[in-house]
Amino acid sequence: MFPIAANESDARALSPDFAQALMMEVVPGISRYEITHTTLYRVHQRVATTFRKGRAFLIGDAAHINNPLGGMGMNGGIHDAINLTERLAAVWHGTQGETELDRFDKQRRLVTKEYVEKQSIQNKKNLEAPGSAFREQLTAIAADAVRTRDYLLAVSMIASLRRAEQLG
């Protein structure tokens, strides 16, 4: 994935020569890269105002859409599905009341705002950072065990699961 300047035409951005030039900036010294697919994606972010309306639920991209950098949308959708199915099963089997389903909405929407949306926005900023700024930031993080652990917990979404537990 590469950021494309706003003034670049779609036709130019999709051209094989343009893709080759972008790849040469990342891995110089190869005369021709095998590129099997190119597509344009206009980055946008949205989170639904509610993930539950009566008996209808939103999960994954229907509930929250964000840029594809880092897999936050896909993984967030998986977390949504697991969270909801556990709650639906509990209500279905009578071990929890229907208010448990309201907790899904509150919990997953808040975690989406605090983690998924925040991290995917940061991923976009990292991609757009000039030169080697992001690599330098990662090097600094890697040099500190506490920062490394915190970074990995955030980007793996483990921290979001812990936050979800706090919310019940």
d(CA 143, CA 68): 28
Domain ranges of the chain: 1-40, 50-167
Q: What is the DSSP string of 95-163?
A: SS-THHHHHHHHHHHHHIIIIIIHHHHHHHHHHHSSTTHHHHHHHHHHT-HHHHHHHHHHHTTHHHHHH
The closest alpha carbon to 75, from 53, 108, 110, belongs to 108
What is the structure's pLDDT at 68? Answer: 75
Which parts of the chain register pLDDT below 50? none
What is the structure's pLDDT at 146? Answer: 97
What is the structure's pLDDT at 126? Answer: 82
**Is residue 66 exposed (0-12), middle (13-18) or buried (19+ Cβ within 10 Å)?**
buried
What is the structure's pLDDT at 129? Answer: 80
Taking phi first (over 0 means left), then psi (-120 to 50 degrees means alpha), and beta for anything else, what does residue 54 get?
left
**pTM, rounded to two decimals:** 0.73
What is the structure's pLDDT at 87? Answer: 94
Number of residues that make up the chain? 168
Domain over 50-167 is classified CATH 3.40.50.1820 = no
The set of residues, in sequence order, having a beta carbon less than 8 Å from that of 135 and lying 6+ positions away, is none
Tell how strand 46-47 and strand 52-53 pair up: unpaired
Structure tokens at 84: 């909801």
What is the structure's pLDDT at 158? Answer: 86
What is the structure's pLDDT at 80? Answer: 93
